[in-house]
Amino acid sequence: MDDKTISKFLSLVLRHQPETIGLMLDEAGWTDLSELVEKTRAHGKAITEDDVRRIAANCEKQRFSFSPDGLRIRAAQGHSVTVELGLKAVTPPDILFHGTATRFADAIRTEGLKPQARQQVHLSGDEETALKVGQRHGKPIIFRVAAGRMQAEGFAFFQADNGVWLTDTVPPQFLETL
């Protein structure tokens, strides 16, 4: 398997469907690296711990995190399975960004940003990253998020290990289209 295929598979089992290979994640989303490799190999995907470490290190989006001892791995964010990443609320920049496809713009303007199948809404710290995210879903549109105002009104923000900003929801009054 090539690295891109392995990376997508790791995202699937560490973020969304660990049960597809009989993997159990703990409450914080961690699993033993050796168990991940063993169960992946048992399901016909020949990977090694070195493959996983290389892919994690070279992943532009830094989707995966290792425990301090390097023996456990988890997805940095983006889970659709219930996990508690243990992130502490932090002060966001005044403005964050959300990239999506134009076909979702009207609903977002009316209902705000919701986590959909994920646990939290994902926000970017810069327009360029938001544009790349939006392009993955179709013709892109970027929303500016008044994160500073939101926090002042009691909304909590978190930052994943890979720099992605997370919050539970963004009501429409905090959104502006770029």
Number of domains in the chain: 2
Q: What is the pLDDT of residues 98-121, one digit of tens each?
A: 999 999 999 999 999 999 888 899
Residue 54 and residue 16 share a domain: yes
Strands (E), the chain: 31-32, 64-66, 72-75, 96-101, 121-123, 140-145, 158-159, 165-167, 175-177
What pLDDT does residue 117 have? 80
Among residues 150, 156, 95, 148, which one has the least CA distance to residue 125?
Answer: 95
Per-residue pLDDT band for 178 (boundaries 50, 70, 90) equals confident
Residue 171 and residue 107 share a domain: yes
Residue 157 and residue 106 share a domain: yes
Distance in angstroms (rounded) separating the CA atoms of residues 165 and 39: 31
Task: Please answer whether residues 72 and 102 qualify as being in contact, where contact means their C-beta atoms are separated by less than 8 angstroms.
Answer: no
Query: What mean pLDDT do residues 84-97 have?
Result: 95
What pLDDT does residue 74 have? 96
Q: What percent of the chain has pLDDT over 90?
A: 81
Domain that holds residue 43: 3-75
Q: First vs last Cα of the chain: how many Å apart? A: 40
Treating both helix axes as pointing N-terminal to C-terminal, what angle do 3-11 and 49-58 enclose, rounded to 10 degrees?
90
Count other C-beta atoms under 10 Å from residue 101's C-beta. Answer: 15
Q: Is 21 helix (H, G, I), strand (E, B) or coil?
A: helix
Residue 134 belongs to some domain of the structure: yes
Asked if residue 140 has pLDDT above 90, the reply is: yes
Q: Which residue has the tokens 């909304």?
A: 155
Strand partners, 39: none
Residue 168 and residue 101 share a domain: yes
Residue 167 and residue 121 share a domain: yes
Average pLDDT, the chain: 94
Residue 83 belongs to some domain of the structure: no
CATH number for position 170: 3.20.170.30
Per-residue pLDDT band for 170 (boundaries 50, 70, 90) equals very high
Q: What is the pLDDT of residues 24-81, one digit of tens each?
A: 999 999 999 999 999 999 989 889 999 999 999 998 888 999 999 999 999 998 888 8
Residue 105 and residue 50 share a domain: no
Distance in angstroms (rounded) separating the CA atoms of residues 111 and 80: 21
Asked if residue 82 has pLDDT above 90, the reply is: no
